[in-house]
Amino acid sequence: MKNLSLLFALFLSVVATAQDKKSVEIFPNNHPELLLGKTVKILPLPEKSRAEGYSNFATNVYGTDTYHKIGFKKSAAESLENRVFKVVPNELNKLNVIKLESPEGEIIYHAYNKYDDREYYFEVEGGLDIPEDFYCEYFQPGVDDGKKINRMSKNFWGTRVWVNNNLKTDKLEINMMFNISTKATKGITIIFDNGEKLEDPNAQLSGKYNDGSLENKDYVYMITTEREKKLFSENLITTVIFGKEKSPVDSDFPARHSEKIRGIVECGYKTIEERNKL
């Protein structure tokens, strides 16, 4: 009976953990067409942004008549928040115009901005069905020739993912490049959403002065173990600390950026696996 109680308590703990771990909305990036046919809910704005309203919602396909206008291309928060719509094809067949149809038949248009995920307001029912190489599109141009790769991702919250050949072994590897404003000269701690940490108190941080003053410092974290690979490719970074204290600005990672970083690492390792078969 005691063992049964312990198992039941463990089960409740696992369920609670799963419920606490919120899913992250995936930004469609270059593929707004992934939203077609999906049911979406418009997420509430942060309290500090409510007065500014939502950007780029209109009553016509050309975007000239702002929906419940309160400013230039700004719609009142209360007119859209938590409302549910179906994404349907627009009459111009333009991918950057998202046509929304409410259950009551109201039609609203949203000008999709692929350059700014802060203007992405949708929670997608059932999530997006993304293509396998979706996150690899965040890598910038570089050397990519068979087993020779030297490519870096775009910068998300001071973090880049780097796929390259090891200078000594020539094997393909992935390194993480972090940049944070700090007074510290050494030490890094990376915390993930599953509670696990990676810590190196002796990691030497690279800055211009390194004299104890506040400045942007860099650190290249080399992924060398299966545990590190699993953490970076399957979990979200929540916090990165240089030294012993968090930066008031840079240390806590927004989930939307962490999901991109995770996906880029995962796609990088899939690319390495494919190239190693050549």
The pLDDT score that the predictor gives to residue 7 is: 41
Q: How many domains does the chain have?
A: 2
The answer to whether residues 165 and 264 belong to one domain is: yes
Q: How far apart are CA 223 and CA 191, in angstroms?
A: 15
- Say if residues 172 and 276 touch (Cβ distance below 8 Å): yes
The answer to whether residues 102 and 183 belong to one domain is: no
The answer to whether residues 168 and 108 belong to one domain is: no
Q: How far apart are CA 95 and CA 30, in angstroms?
A: 10
Alpha carbons within 13 A on the beta-carbon side of 124: 19
The answer to whether residues 164 and 255 belong to one domain is: yes
φ/ψ (deg, to 5) at 155: -85, 120
Helix (H) or strand (E) holding 230: helix 226-234
Helix (H) or strand (E) holding 145: strand 143-145
The structure tokens listed for 219 are 């650190």
- Say if residues 177 and 162 touch (Cβ distance below 8 Å): yes
The pLDDT score that the predictor gives to residue 208 is: 86
Mean pLDDT for each consecutive 10-residue tract of the chain (278 residues)?
43 36 80 96 96 97 97 97 97 93 98 94 95 95 94 97 95 96 95 98 91 90 97 98 91 96 97 93
The pLDDT score that the predictor gives to residue 10 is: 39
Question: What residue type is assigned to position 128 of the chain?
Answer: L
Going by the DSSP 8-state scheme, the letter that residue 272 receives in this structure is H
Sign of CA dihedral 181, 152, 123, 89: positive
Q: How far apart are CA 172 and CA 174, in angstroms?
A: 7
Q: What is the 3-state secondary structure (H, E, C) of 232-262?
A: HHHCCEEEEEECCCCCCCCCECCHHHHHHHH
Query: Which conformational region is residue 145 in: left (phi greater than 0), alpha (psi within -120 to 50 degrees), or beta?
Result: beta
Identify the domain boundary among 124, 148, 170: 124
Identify the domain boundary among 98, 124, 150: 124
The pLDDT score that the predictor gives to residue 13 is: 38
φ/ψ (deg, to 5) at 139: -75, 140
Structural domain containing residue 175: 134-275
Residue 34: strand, helix, or coil: helix
Question: What residue type is assigned to position 276 of the chain?
Answer: N
Q: How far apart are CA 227 and CA 115, in angstroms?
A: 33
pTM: 0.85
The pLDDT score that the predictor gives to residue 6 is: 41
Residues 6+ apart with CB under 8 A from 122: 25, 35, 40, 41, 42, 43
The answer to whether residues 216 and 243 belong to one domain is: yes
